[in-house]
Structure 1
Amino acid sequence: MDSASRSNRQLRRALCYSNNAGKGQARSPSVIVIGAGMAGVAAARALHDASFKVVLLESRDRVGGRVHTDYSFGFPVDLGASWLHGVCQENPLAPVISRLGLPLYRTSGDNSVLYDHDLESRVLKTVVVSLIQANLCYALFDMDGNQVPQELVTKVGEAFESILKETDKVREEHDEDMSIQRAISIVFDRRPELRLEGLAHKVLQWYLCRMEGWFAADAETISLKSWDKEELLPGGHGLMVRGYLPVINTLAKGLDIRLGHRVTKITRHYIGVKVTVEGGKTFVADAVVVAVPLGVLKARTIKFEPRLPDWKEAAIDDLGVGIENKIIMHFDKVFWPNVEFLGVVSDTSYGCSYFLNLHKATGHCVLVYMPAGQLARDIEKMSDEAAANFAFTQLKKILPDASSPIQYLVSHWGTDANSLGSYSYDTVGKSHDLYERLRIPVDNLFFAGEATSMSYPGSVHGAFSTGLMAAEDCRMRVLERYGELDLFQPVMGEETPISVPFLISRL
C-alpha cells in the first residue's frame, strides 16, 4: 500500500470518531485553527460555541500573536497592537470590550477623552482630560531641542492635507499605479507653491513619517491607487489602557490551545485535513482555519499539500507586509511636556522620531518610541540595549535633561519567526482585491487575519472580524457536507451578525 493510500485510510478512520467517542457514537464536527492571535482565537471561540470540536495550534509559548501585553514593569504595556481604531458600536470588537468594561483613552488631533466601557457612538459618558489648549496634542522639536511653534505645526498639517488631495488628481490622471512618494513629487512639480522650506519642510517630513507609521512602510512602497481604501470607523482612536490581553484571554477561555506547536505542513483531502507540527505529531479534522500572519505565509514555512492555487499564492506574494516596532522606556519620573505625542522633525522622514506619552493615558512614567519602515528594519539589527540607547538618544535631542530609563522593552516584529512583519499594506501596482483573494477558502481550508480584511486591513478589529467570518464559512461548509446545516444558527449570537459575501470564481 502506498503512503498516500495509507494516509487517506488513517485520516478517514480518525475522522469517523472524536478522540473520546466510542464506536457507534455520533462525532462532533472538528476544526483545527492555526495561530492563536486575535483572528485565530476569534475563529476558535466561534466554532467552539457552535459545538465544533476545536484544537488551536500556536507556535509561540503564549496566546495573542501580534497582541502582546507585557507586565514586567509591574503594569501592562502593549508591545504590539494597542489601539482600538474606531471607538463606536459599529466596531466588531465593541461587544467584547463593552462586556469586559475596559477603559479606552481616546487619542486624537483635537481632544483626549477617557471613555468608559459602554462605547456609545453618539452619547458617550466622558471624563475630559485636562488640556491647557485643545491643540496641544503634539509637541514637535527640531534637532537642537527647540520646540516648533504650534501655529506652524497646524499650518503644515493643513498643507499636508492639501498635498494629499492633489495626489487624488494625479491618481485620476494615471492608469498605472505609482508610489505615494512619487505622486507627492509630481504635485510639487505642478504646484511649486506647495513646497515648503526650512523648518516647515522638516515638519512636513514628520507628518509623512506618521503616515508611513500607519502603513508600517516607506512612502516609496505605498500604493497611490489603494492607500486610502481602508474603511475608517467613527469615534476616533482609543488606546487600550489595560492592554489588549484581557480581550484575548476572555475569547480563549476554555479552548483547547496547544502552545509550542509550530505547524510545518497542511495536507488536505476531500474527507478532511491533516496538520503536521514540528517533531512529526499530526492532527486531523474536517477543516482548518489558517490564521497565521502574512509574513509567515510569505516565508513558506508551512507546506501545503497539494499546493495552494496560483491565485492564492499570488495574493500572498503581492500583498505588502510592513514593520513598526516599539521601544518602551520606563522612567522614574516625568520630565516631558504634558502632551500625547512628542516628535523630532528632520530633513527626511527617516530622520524623524515619534514618541507616545503613556503617562497621559495610564499615569505611568512611560514613553514609547515607534520607528517604522526602513528605520524599524535598521533598528532590528541592533541589540535590545543598542536599540534602547538609540531611542534615548533621539529623546535627548529634544529634552537634554532627560534622565535615563530604569527599564526598557524592545519589539522585533520583523525578525520574529512567528510574525515576520507587523501588518499588511497595499504595495505599488497591486490590487486592493488581494485581501479578499487571501480570504477566500480553498476546499476545506479557510483563511483569517488582518491581511484578509478588505475593509479593515492592519487592524485588530479587522483580524477579529475575519476570524468570525472564517468560522462562519467553515461552519456552513462542514455542516453542509453532513446535511446538518442550519442557516439560522448564529456563530456568536445575534448581537454580532455575520455578513457572508458570495464566493464567486471565474474560470
Structure 2
Amino acid sequence: MAIARRTFLAGAVSALSLSALAACTPDAPRPVPSPSITPTELPTGPVPNPAAFARSAWADDPFSLGSFSTTPVGATPASRTTLRDTVGDRLFFAGEATSTEFPGTVVGAAASGESVAARVAAVAEPEERIGIVGAGLAGATAARILAEQGFEVVVIEARDRVGGRIDTRDDDGWPFPVELGSASVSADGLEELLRINDVGTITLDATLEARTASGLVVPPSAVGPDAVARAVAWAKAQPTDTSLASALSASGAEMLPPEPGAQGVSPADELVHYLETTVASRYGSSPFELSASYGLDRTGLVDGTALVVGGLDTVVTASLDDVDVLLSSTVIRISYNDAGASVRLGTGESLSMDRVVVTVPIGVLKAGTIEFSPELPGPTAAAIEELGMGSLEQLWLRFDEPFWSTEATVLSVFDETSEIAEWINLLPATGQPILIGLTAADDVPVVLKQNDQEFLQAALQTLEPYLDPALVSTPSPTTTPTGGDG
C-alpha cells in the first residue's frame, strides 16, 4: 500500500544538502551567515510577542548538513560499526554516527572520542603527529586523550569556533546560556565531564500535554506508541528491512478507528499526532525514511533528563586547552598510504600527518565535500551511504511573563499545519518563561526559507491553544524581539 505523507491511515486522517563536489580540488564550503535579529514589527495577536528569541539552522550549515545521524531503511547498527573500522591503520572515523549505544547524542560523541583515541594509541608510535578533522565533542575528546599520552595533535576545524554541533549562545536577554545544538543529556556517561567543567544542569520531567486547536486538553493515550511497537515487532520478523510507514501499513497497526472520541480526536488522529510530534522530533525524520527494525534507536526526553544551563561548550573548550587548533580551515582532501597521511585545506595548503581522525558529521561525509585518496574501502563507503542525517531545528522564545499555566514539560497541538512539532516548557523546571519549539523532518526546509518575522508569527499562532486568558488581560503591544543569532 503506497502511503502519502499525512494521509497514510486508510484515508481516515489528512494530516529533526549540499551537492557533492565532483572536482579533485573542490571549492571549500563556506559558512552560511546565521539568521540575524533585525528590528521588525510583529503583528499584534493574542499570544504576547517574545522579549528575546534565537533559532538554529543546522540543515543549512555546510559543516553539519543536519542535526544528528539516523538509521534509515537499509541501514543497521552494523553500518555504524563498519564506519568506525580503521582504514589501513592511518585513517579513523569517530563521532556520534559511529556509536551503536548512543547514536545521535552528545554522550555517543564523547564515547566515540574516547574509543578512537584508544584505537589510534594502539597502533601509533610515540610522538607521532595526529590530525583530527573537526573540533566538536568527539574530536576534542580524542585530542585531549592523545595529547595527554604524548602525541603531537593538530585539530582542524572549518568553522571559526570550536564545538561543532554544540553551539552555546551566552547573550544578553537570557537568564542562562542558550544551547542551539544539544541542550539535554539523557544518558549516563557525561555527568562526570559536566561536573569537572562546572557545567550546570537542571532536571526535567517528561510530562506531556496535547491540546486541540481550540485549546481542549486531549487525555493521554498509548495508541501511538502501541501502534509503532506493533509495527516494529512485525518488521523485525520480516526477511528484509522496511520503513516505519510501510510497517504500520503492512502490519495492520495503522488500521485504527476514525470515529472521533474524546475532544473530537480519533485513535487514527492520535497515531498521526504521535508520528508528527514525538517520532519526528526524536529522530528528525519521517516514518517513510526511518528503518522500522533499527531506526528507532534514539533516547527521547525521559524523567530525569538534564537540561544544560551552564554552557555545554565549556566541555569542548576545556578539552582543547593546550592543543593546536586551526580554525576556519576547511579540509577538502585526505590522502593516506602505508607511510603516513596528509590533509589538504581549501586554501591549497597541505599538512603532513602520521594518522588522521575524521569526526565530521555523517551529512558532510555523504555530501562528498571531503575527497579521500585512495577512495574509501567499499564497506566504509557503503556505511556512509546507508546512514542518514536527521533534521531538527530549535526556536527559543523568552517572554516577559508566562501566558500559559500548564505544568507539563512537552506541549503539542493536534494541528496538521503546525510547523512546530513540540514545545519544551522550561517554566516548571527553571522558573523562567521560556519555551523551546522543535521543528523536525519535512517541516525543516519550510521554516528555513522563512525570515524571522514569518517564522515567529507562525510559531506564536501554534501557541494559541495554550493561552490562559487570566494571564493576558490586555492585547500584547507590538514589540521588537531581541536575541542571539540562530
The TM tier, using the shorter chain, reads 0.5 to 0.7
Residue 368 of structure 2 is aligned to residue 293 of structure 1? no
Q: Does the 8 A contact of 2:290 with 2:296 survive in 1?
A: no
Aligned with 1:268: secondary structure?
A: strand
1:176 Cα deviation from its structure 2 partner: 2.0
Residue 421 of structure 2 is aligned to residue 353 of structure 1? yes
| Cα 1:189/1:168, change in 2 over 3 Å | closer
Q: Distance in 2 between matches of 1:231 and 1:387?
A: 28
Look up the match of 1:69. Answer: 168
Look up the match of 2:454. Answer: 386
TM-score scaled by length of structure 1: 0.63
1:367-391 alpha-carbon deviations (Å, 9 max, x no partner): 1110100011211122233223322
Q: Distance in 2 between matches of 1:305 and 1:167?
A: 43
1:352-401 alpha-carbon deviations (Å, 9 max, x no partner): 63111233333333211101000112111222332233222222354285
Aligned with 2:389: secondary structure?
A: strand
| Cα 1:299/1:190, change in 2 over 3 Å | closer
Look up the match of 1:376. Answer: 444
Say which of 286, 290, 311 aligns to 1:222.
Answer: 290
1:228-260 alpha-carbon deviations (Å, 9 max, x no partner): 456899974221122311222222222211111
Aligned with 1:273: secondary structure?
A: strand
Q: Distance in 1 between matches of 2:328 and 2:311?
A: 23
Kindly report which structure 2 residues correspond to 1:265-304, keeping only aligned pairs within 5 A, or say none.
Answer: 265-304=333-372
Say which of 142, 145, 149 aligns to 2:212.
Answer: 142
Gaps of 5+ in 2: 1-124
Say which of 242, 249, 258 aligns to 1:185.
Answer: 249
Aligned with 2:306: secondary structure?
A: strand
Q: Does the 8 A contact of 2:401 with 2:433 survive in 1?
A: yes
Q: Higher Cα Rg: structure 1 or 2?
A: 1
Q: Does the 8 A contact of 1:357 with 1:368 survive in 2?
A: yes
Q: Distance in 2 between matches of 1:319 and 1:254?
A: 34
- Residue 203 of structure 2 aligns with an amino acid whose one-letter code is R
1:94 Cα deviation from its structure 2 partner: 2.8
1:287-318 alpha-carbon deviations (Å, 9 max, x no partner): 00001111111111111111112221121111
Look up the match of 1:407. Answer: 482
Look up the match of 1:314. Answer: 382
Look up the match of 2:105. Answer: none
% identity of equivalent residues: 27
Name the structure with the higher helix share: 1
Q: Distance in 1 between matches of 2:199 and 2:373?
A: 43
| Cα 1:214/1:231, change in 2 over 3 Å | closer
1:218 Cα deviation from its structure 2 partner: 0.6
Look up the match of 2:10. Answer: none
| Cα 1:262/1:269, change in 2 over 3 Å | same
Residue 274 of structure 2 is aligned to residue 207 of structure 1? yes
Kindly report which structure 2 residues correspond to 1:39-188, keeping only aligned pairs within 5 A, or say none.
Answer: 39-72=138-171, 73-74=173-174, 75-86=176-187, 91-109=188-206, 137-144=207-214, 146-149=215-218, 152-153=219-220, 156=221, 158-188=222-252
| Cα 1:60/1:331, change in 2 over 3 Å | same
1:187 Cα deviation from its structure 2 partner: 4.1
- Residue 273 of structure 2 aligns with an amino acid whose one-letter code is W
| Cα 1:173/1:54, change in 2 over 3 Å | closer
1:188 Cα deviation from its structure 2 partner: 3.9
Kindly report which structure 2 residues correspond to 1:229-244, keeping only aligned pairs within 5 A, or say none.
Answer: 229=297, 236-244=304-312
Q: Distance in 2 between matches of 1:187 and 1:365?
A: 43
Q: Does the 8 A contact of 2:420 with 2:459 survive in 1?
A: no
Residue 436 of structure 2 is aligned to residue 335 of structure 1? no
Aligned with 1:283: secondary structure?
A: strand
Q: Does the 8 A contact of 2:198 with 2:310 survive in 1?
A: no
Residue 466 of structure 2 is aligned to residue 365 of structure 1? no
Q: How many residues matched?
A: 348
TM-score scaled by length of structure 2: 0.65
CA RMSD, Structure 1 to Structure 2 (Å): 2.9
Q: Distance in 2 between matches of 1:190 and 1:332?
A: 43
| Cα 1:232/1:371, change in 2 over 3 Å | closer
| Cα 1:386/1:309, change in 2 over 3 Å | same
Look up the match of 1:28. Answer: 127
Q: Distance in 2 between matches of 1:139 and 1:235?
A: 15
- Residue 184 of structure 2 aligns with an amino acid whose one-letter code is W
